[in-house]
């Protein structure tokens, strides 16, 4: 059974389950592998980023993960059709999907989309408690850009590797 839960070092780094812990995670992108292995727990403790992991229960093997953190968007960065619907503040609140990765052993099974939809739903829920107009991602390659566009993300006009989806659009998806 699959579960997406907040990273917990006690559950996801058990010494007696050495082969099932997150230190074996490998998605094919060194920076994403390094993050979950060495920095995710510390960033969670310092409240810099909030990592969520996709695990198979009851083994708790980390199949994938994503991270959320607060973010600001300059209103002039947005495309005109989105910006005209928002207040004319210089900075607008948003949520950053800082990382999203699936272990290479589990790629091609739809887990990336499952993680993204969960992150979008979580952003929608968070926006009712703390204002956010959009969810932002910074893609690490053209494949990632295409992936996000398939889910309705729009490129920032001045940076095609940076994309966003409005929280209103997330709500329209019925998440």
What is the spatial distance between Cα 99 and Cα 79, in angstroms, rounded to a whole number? Answer: 23
In CATH, the architecture of 2-172 is 3-Layer(aba) Sandwich (3.40)
In the chain, where the domains are located: 2-172
* pTM score of the predicted model: 0.91
Round to whole Å and give the CA distance between 34 and 74: 30
Summarised one tens digit per residue, pLDDT across range 39-54 is: 999 999 999 999 999 9
Give CA angle at 21 (54, 49), nearest 5°.
55
Measured from the Cβ of residue 67, the count of other Cβ atoms closer than 10 Å reads: 24
Q: What is the C-alpha separation between 139 and 118, in angstroms, rounded? A: 18
- In angstroms, the CA 1 to CA 38 distance is 26
Please write the tens of the pLDDT for every residue from 62-116. 899 999 999 999 988 888 888 888 888 889 999 999 999 999 999 999 999 999 9
DSSP state of 141: S
Least confident window among 21-30, 63-72, 127-136, 165-174: 21-30
Beginning with the edge strand found earlier in the chain, give each strand of the sheet holding 134-138 in spatial order: 2-6, 50-56, 61-74, 91-102, 134-138, 159-166, 154-156
Long-range (24+ apart) CB contacts under 8 A made by 148-154 are 148/116, 151/113, 151/116, 151/117, 151/120, 154/79, 154/82
């Amino acid at each position: 059974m699959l579960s997406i839960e907040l990273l917990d070092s006690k559950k996801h780094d058990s010494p007696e389950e050495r082969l099932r812990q997150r230190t074996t995670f490998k998605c094919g992108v060194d920076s994403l592998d390094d993050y979950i292995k060495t920095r995710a727990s510390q960033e969670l403790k310092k409240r810099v980023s909030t990592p969520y992991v996709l695990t198979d229960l009851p083994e708790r093997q980390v199949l994938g993960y994503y991270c959320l953190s607060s973010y600001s968007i300059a209103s002039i960065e947005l495309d005109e059709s989105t910006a005209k619907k928002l207040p004319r503040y210089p900075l607008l609140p948003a949520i950053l999907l800082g990382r999203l990765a699936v272990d290479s052993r589990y790629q091609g099974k739809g887990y990336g989309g499952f993680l993204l939809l969960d992150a979008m739903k979580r952003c929608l829920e968070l926006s009712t408690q703390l204002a956010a107009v959009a969810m932002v991602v910074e893609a690490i390659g053209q494949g990632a850009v295409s992936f996000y566009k398939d889910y309705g993300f729009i490129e920032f006009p001045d940076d095609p590797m940076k994309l966003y989806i409005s929280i209103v659009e997330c709500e329209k998806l019925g998440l």
